[in-house]
Amino acid sequence: NAASVLFLIYVVLAGQVLICRNYKGDVDMAEIDHFMPLLMQHEEEGLVSPVISHGSVHFLWIKHSNLYLVATTNKNSNASLVYSFLYKIVEVFTEYFKELEEESIQDNFVVVYELLDELMDFGFPQTTDSKILQEYITQEGAKLEVAKSKVPTTVTNAVSWRSEGIKYKKNEVFIDVIESINVLVNANGSVMSSDIVGSIKLKTMLSGMPELRLGLNDRVLFALTGRDKGKTVVMEDVKFHQCVRLSRFESDRTISFIPPDGESELMSYRINTHVKPLIWIESVIEKFSHSRVEIMVKAKGQFKKQSVANNVEVRVPVPSDADSPKFKTSTGNAKYVPEKNLVVWTIKSFPGGKEFLMRAHFGLPSVENDEAEGKPPITVKFEIPYFTVSGIQVRYMKIIEKSGYQALPWVRYITQSGDYQLRTNV
């Protein structure tokens, strides 16, 4: 069992309830009045937690822009289900109203109530696929009376993510393989941890109910089938969209599925192999109290010469009371972003093997800010197209539909920065 009552609270100082739905009637609606004061108290004490309890009532909450989504329960509820569900609500409402915010809720409160009714029943999440929901809950209810007066069979089908009767003139599927590099480097330059999180996204424009099979250069698959040609990749962990037949993958590593229409994330994977940080940063930050900060940053592209990293951003933290910035760069632009206490050095195009330099100089006030500041790391953002750092490849995408049409798969590769942090000494 999950939430007993679900509230959307919007935050002006007092924390007013914007809309709520009592699913089980076992928690007093007035309990929510305790939520904001408790949350603020915890924030003051620096002990924020995603679960707050008041007497026998527990509040499980997430924050989305200026809204708090709060589920309350007085049972031993499945907490991971509750949080997953809260995030799902954000997803569904965002797809319905573009933005989930105070205004969009008020402007659409009738639909919001209808959705809340369909998303969960008596604390059990029900249909949460927004594409399917849109088939029978629409924003212009009055006009489409006929269209939505029937339950789409999809709702209760085993294939609950794709409707029947979809038609495209040209049948195509676009596959994006996106790899994000997570790196944590210590101040002395040693790599503490690094991994690759990959994601395969689909944009499916296919008619009917197509059966798809995706082939990757997966080492386990190759070992199973006795093939050992070419480079293979070891995926440490794989996560699939609801549409993929998990037992089939478990038994013979085949990725087979009927895809959702339009855009979706088919799978994600994690690779543990140690990768050289693609953009290496060396920094010297010297802080002379009451006078100045001097920053020198060297960035080096540690990837193939033929590749180019685009939109590279090196974000270097500076003290909050720094002033009068001066920059010198060997390429690109450096900018001071005072509201974030950062210098952002942007390099539009960064070829592999190259090395660039940035120097910054800041003044410090003679009376120093005595509030202790943390030691934020240097972070880096970049994208390298036409290349995956792990070497993963889409070997084939088979598309079979009973009408027998020919469909084309298009594949794109990109490597980008994920959580890319380099600690500094200052």
Partner 1 sequence: MQEWANQLCESRQFGSKMTDSKYFTTTKKGEIFELKAELNSDKKEKKKEAVKKVIASMTVGKDVSALFPDVVNCMQTDNLELKKLVYLYLMNYAKSQPDMAIMAVNTFVKDCEDPNPLIRALAVRTMGCIRVDKITEYLCEPLRKCLKDEDPYVRKTAAVCVAKLHDINAQLVEDQGFLDTLKDLISDSNPMVVANAVAALSEIAESHPNSNLMDLNPQTINKLLTALNECTEWGQIFILDCLANYTPRDDRESQSICERVTPRLSHANSAVVLSAVKVLMKFMEMLPKDLDYYGTLLKKLAPPLVTLLSAEPELQYVALRNINLIVQRRPEILKHEMKVFFVKYNDPIYVKLEKLDIMIRLASQANIAQVLAELKEYATEVDVDFVRKAVRAIGRCAIKVEQSAERCVSTLLDLIQTKVNYVVQEAIVVIKDIFRKYPNKYESVIATLCENLDSLDEPEARAAMIWIVGEYAERIDNADELLESFLEGFHDESTQVQLQLLTAIVKLFLKKPTETQELVQQVLSLATQDSDNPDLRDRGYIYWRLLSTDPVAAKEVVLAEKPLISEETDLIEPTLLEELICHIGTLASVYHKPPSAFVEGSRGVQHKRLPGSTGLGESLESPDTGSAAGGSDAPPAVIPSQGDLLGDLLNLDLTPPATTGPPPPPTSGMQLGAMDLLGGGLDSLLGGDLGGSSAMGAGFGAAPAASPASFSAPVSGGLDDLFDLGGGVGMPMGAYNPPKTVWLPAMKGKGLEISGTFARRAGIIQMEMTLINKAMSVMTDFAIQFNRNSFGIAPAGPLQVLTPLSPNQTIEVALPLNTVGPVMKMDPLNNLQVAVKNNIDVFYFSCQYPISVLFVEDGKMERQVFLATWKDIPNDNESQFQIKDCHLNSDAASSKLQGSNIFTIAKRTVDGQDMLYQSMKLTNSIWVLAELRVQAGNPTYTISLKCRAPEVSQCVFQTYEAVLKN
Residues 275-334 that bind partner 1 (CB under 8 A): none
Closer to partner 1 by Cβ: residue 123 or 301: 123
Shortest gap between Cβ of 158 and partner 1 (angstroms)? 4
DSSP state of 31: G
Residues 7-26 that bind partner 1 (CB under 8 A): 17, 19, 22, 24-26
Pairing of strands 255-257, 172-185: unpaired
**CA atoms within 13 Å, Cβ hemisphere of 113:** 8
38, 147, 246, 408: which one contacts partner 1 (CB under 8 A)?
246
What the block records as the tokens of 241 is: 């969209």
Q: How far apart are the first and last CA of the chain?
A: 48
Site string for partner 1, 160-179 (x = CB under 8 A): x-------------------
Residues 57-76 that bind partner 1 (CB under 8 A): 58, 60, 62, 73-76
106 contributes a contact to partner 1 by CB under 8 A: yes
Residues touching partner 1, count (CB under 8 A): 94
209 contributes a contact to partner 1 by CB under 8 A: no
SS3 335: strand
> Would you tell me how many other CB atoms lie within 10 Å of the CB of residue 32?
20
Residues 393-422 that bind partner 1 (CB under 8 A): 419, 421
151 contributes a contact to partner 1 by CB under 8 A: yes
* φ/ψ (deg, to 5) at 31: -55, -30
256 contributes a contact to partner 1 by CB under 8 A: no
> Would you tell me how many other CB atoms lie within 10 Å of the CB of residue 153?
11
**CA atoms within 13 Å, Cβ hemisphere of 273:** 12
**CA atoms within 13 Å, Cβ hemisphere of 262:** 8
33, 40, 41, 48: which one contacts partner 1 (CB under 8 A)?
48
4 contributes a contact to partner 1 by CB under 8 A: no
Q: Which stretch binds partner 1 (CB under 8 A): 218-226, 342-350, 374-382, 400-408?
A: 374-382
203 contributes a contact to partner 1 by CB under 8 A: no
Closer to partner 1 by Cβ: residue 120 or 407: 120
Q: Which stretch binds partner 1 (CB under 8 A): 81-89, 299-307, 387-395, 405-413?
A: 81-89
- Sign of the torsion formed by the C-alpha atoms of 91, 93, 98 and 103: negative
Shortest gap between Cβ of 324 and partner 1 (angstroms)? 25
Q: How far is residue 375's CA from residue 206's CA, in Å, rounded to a whole number?
A: 50
Q: Which stretch binds partner 1 (CB under 8 A): 123-131, 219-227, 277-285, 322-330?
A: 123-131
Shortest gap between Cβ of 220 and partner 1 (angstroms)? 12
Smallest Cα–Cα separation from 173: which of 411, 11, 12?
A: 411
Shortest gap between Cβ of 424 and partner 1 (angstroms)? 10
Smallest Cα–Cα separation from 126: which of 155, 158, 96?
A: 155
131, 201, 241, 354: which one contacts partner 1 (CB under 8 A)?
241
Distances (CA, A) of 36 to 57, 69, 217, 256: 14, 12, 51, 46
SS3 91: helix
